[in-house]
Amino acid sequence: MNTPGLESRIAEVRQFNRFYTKQIGVLQEGLLRSSLSLAQVRVLFELANRGETTASELAQELGLDGGYLSRLLRDFDGLGVVSRRPSTADGRQSLIALTASGRVLFAELDERARVEIAQMLRGTSLHAQQQLIVAMQRIQRTLDHAGESAPVVLRSHLPGDMGWVVFRHGILYAREYGWDERFEALVAQIVAAFILELKPDRERCWIAERDGERLGCIFLVQKSEEVAQLRLFLVEPSARGMGVGRKLIAECIAFARDAGYERITLWTNDVLVAARHLYEEAGFVLTDSYEHESFGKTLVAQTWELGLREG
């Protein structure tokens, strides 16, 4: 059964495929102004970066049919760009490598590819180029199903993380709740105070990450000697439903206990339904509620607390 909107999404992917294949020139009779096809150039690239390898390893890496790869390699034999020698590990296999002529051919094609990409990027601003690279990386991570098995890890903040926290809060709260830039300014104030006044034994920021991609964050700061405050809890839309939020909150509570706090307090708004559910699940109790005007909206603020004393 098709999920709602599937046909529309399929059409969008196909539209992108048509655009991109034209953009990078794979529809031309020869790729990179050569007589070689895309598949042939891709095999050359793999050989140039692998050194000696076998046909079966090449086929597996590139997802090519064995018979089709054999025909490509026979064409390369005729061009004198590959050499073969028997494998000492497996007599049924031959080790394939580029010849000197093959390395020269690859170097020429590699330089042409570099020049064409440079020309493509030259007409765009540095910011647009950075956005393009981020989008390409996201496409690769999304479609690389092998990455799905990578674990979610929690780490302390690093240079650049505070900028990401401010940026993602500003973007997501505007998109999901319609909050204006004053919320982003508030987040910037909070993270600046966190960095400038950090008490390492009593305060902490955690970044949830998988395979180098940030998935969420949470902060714990000192409100008083006895009370800690949970702040800036965020989970990326792509990571929701994976348990990232629960993991962040559990780590925050464990740290607060170890630091000797008696309780944790947090301030939120009732429109943040998913976050409120996680707070309640972790044992937080609603202690106060009031209406206010903030970030261009009429909101209902809530204070939640969690006692940390045993018994």
Domain with residue 171: its CATH number is: 3.40.630.30
Confidence band, pLDDT 50/70/90 cuts, at residue 81: confident
Counted domains in the chain:
2
* pLDDT of 229: 97
281: confidence class by pLDDT, cuts 50, 70, 90: very high
Please say if the pLDDT value at position 9 is more than 70: yes
- Give the C-alpha separation, 270 to 258, whole Å: 30
> Does the residue 1 lie in any domain?
no
The whole domain housing 155 covers 149-307
| Choice between 189 and 14, residue whose per-residue pLDDT is larger | 189
Task: Give the sign of the dihedral formed by CA 159, CA 161, CA 166, CA 170.
Answer: positive
Q: What is the mean pLDDT of residues 204-223?
A: 94
pLDDT digits (tens, 9 = 90+) for 101-114: 988 988 998 898 88
Q: Are 134 and 123 in contact (CB under 8 A)?
A: no
Residue 310 has pLDDT above 70, yes or no: no
- Could you tell me the CATH number of the domain that includes residue 54? 1.10.10.10
Q: Are residues 165 and 279 in the same domain?
A: yes
Across 208-222, average pLDDT: 93
DSSP code string of 188-230: HHHHHHHHHT--TTT-EEEEEEETTEEEEEEEEEESSSSEEEE
Asked if the model's pLDDT at residue 216 lies above 90, the reply is: yes
Strand partners, 184: none
Whether 143 is covered by a domain: the verdict is no
* Same domain for 12 and 112: yes
| 191 and 58 in a common domain | no
Tell me, yes or no, whether 164 and 244 share the same domain. yes
Same domain for 58 and 173?
no
pLDDT band for 143, please (50, 70, 90 cuts).
confident
| Domain boundary residue, one of 72, 107, 123 | 123
Question: Token pair for residue 255?
Answer: 């740290």
Confidence at residue 238, expressed as pLDDT on a 0 to 100 scale: 83
Model pTM score: 0.58
What average pLDDT is seen over the chain? 88
pLDDT at 149 over 80: no
Cβ atoms of 279 and 268 within 8 Å: the answer is yes
Bridge partners (DSSP) listed for residue 264: 228, 306
Is pLDDT of 311 > 80?
no
298 pLDDT above the threshold of 80: yes
For residue 278, is it within any domain? yes
146 pLDDT higher than 60 = no
Residues 294 and 200 in one domain: yes
